[in-house]
Structure 1
Amino acid sequence: MSALTLARPALLALLLAASAAAADTKVACAPDRAAFTLPDGSTRDIAVEVVDTPDSRARGLMFRESLAPEHGMLFIYEAPSEVAFWMRNTLIPLDMLFIDPAGRVAHVAANAVPHDETPVPGAHPGDPAPERLMVLEIGGGEAARLGLGEGAILSHPRLPQDIAALPCE
């Protein structure tokens, strides 16, 4: 068993405690922005293009030749779903942030390889099948550069505000 596997329960407890403390906080939100709060309390703001229909989600960032820093595509599902992505016809490497219904980043797949048709799952290998409400795709390496990892919390008006870890104002 790895140290990471052993540390997960402690990390989860810490994140839940931080989320509970932040529950009284509300964040200014906009449909075209992904407002993230990191576990240390710092914030990151990503300009997003929302895709929320089956056709727009299927196309995603295919055939795009570039993606500006701090810009991305926010995939929104009608209900929490088990999701996996692939990179067919995607020309640039991407980081994928898999987000649960409360807005918590539950998994990050970093630097997905262009044109790779291997499914990129929304969870660590061996974890139970998770349900994700949103997935944010940003340029490869952006998640690490911005400090966006598991435990970061998204505030967005399309999250169910009654269960959002950090609801909108």
Structure 2
Amino acid sequence: MMALVGVTLACGGMARAECAADAVTLKGDFGQARFHVSVADDAAERAQGLMNVEQMPTMTGMLFVYEAPQVASFWMRNTLIPLDMIFASADGVVQTVHAKAVPLDETPIFGGDAIKYVLEINGGLAGRLGIVPGAVMQHPAIGPDAALPCTN
């Protein structure tokens, strides 16, 4: 499945960094964290998401990419593991963090009105790392107008 990549906690500015299609970096007051990801960038992949996944290594996840900013609402139907959902705007700025979504719960989880990216990671990890609204997300899909652009 996905390999462990690791986390780097560091102080400092929002320097440009190398990007990879299979990695998302989040930076904020907490430092930075890098996740190895699968990307769901079409309707079928987004509909499947992490359903029926029984376990996920730490520092891995799934990045949902939408064609345009939109209202984002998720649920946990057929999702077997608790997840944190990190909702970001078109420039990659985190707008909402929903912690510890409950497995198999079909209650809608509202992420925001103008969301283009959603990163799902293991439940409770965002809180342990200190990821909060205002952090910035880096991935090649975010493009040249990203708050934290790629160097490549």
Paired AA for residue 102 in structure 2: V
**Structure 2: which 5+ residue stretches go unaligned?**
1-12
State whether structure 2 residue 83 is matched by structure 1 residue 94: yes
- Richer in helix (by share): 1
Counterpart in 2 of 1:33? Answer: 23
Paired residues, number: 139
After TM superposition, give the deviation of residue 39 of structure 1 in Å.
2.5
The C-alpha deviation readout for 1:36-58, integer Å capped at 9, x for no partner, is 11135x21101111011101100
Which of 107, 131, 148 is residue 131 of structure 2 equivalent to? 148
Paired AA for residue 82 in structure 2: P
Identical pairs, percent: 46
After TM superposition, give the deviation of residue 158 of structure 1 in Å.
0.4
TM-score (norm 2): 0.87
Tell me the C-alpha RMSD between the 2 structures.
1.3
Matches of 2:23 and 2:93, distance apart in 1:
16
Matches of 2:54 and 2:138, distance apart in 1:
28
The structure whose Rg is larger is: 1
Counterpart in 2 of 1:10? Answer: none
Matches of 1:102 and 1:39, distance apart in 2:
18
The C-alpha deviation readout for 1:114-137, integer Å capped at 9, x for no partner, is 1111110014xxxxxx21110000
Structure 1 consecutive aligned stretches of length 4 or more whose deviation exceeds 6 Å = none
**Structure 1: which 5+ residue stretches go unaligned?**
1-20, 124-129
After TM superposition, give the deviation of residue 67 of structure 1 in Å.
1.0
The 8 Å contact of residues 101 and 160 in structure 1, kept in 2 or not, is answered as: no
The 8 Å contact of residues 105 and 150 in structure 1, kept in 2 or not, is answered as: yes
State whether structure 2 residue 60 is matched by structure 1 residue 77: no
After TM superposition, give the deviation of residue 81 of structure 1 in Å.
1.1
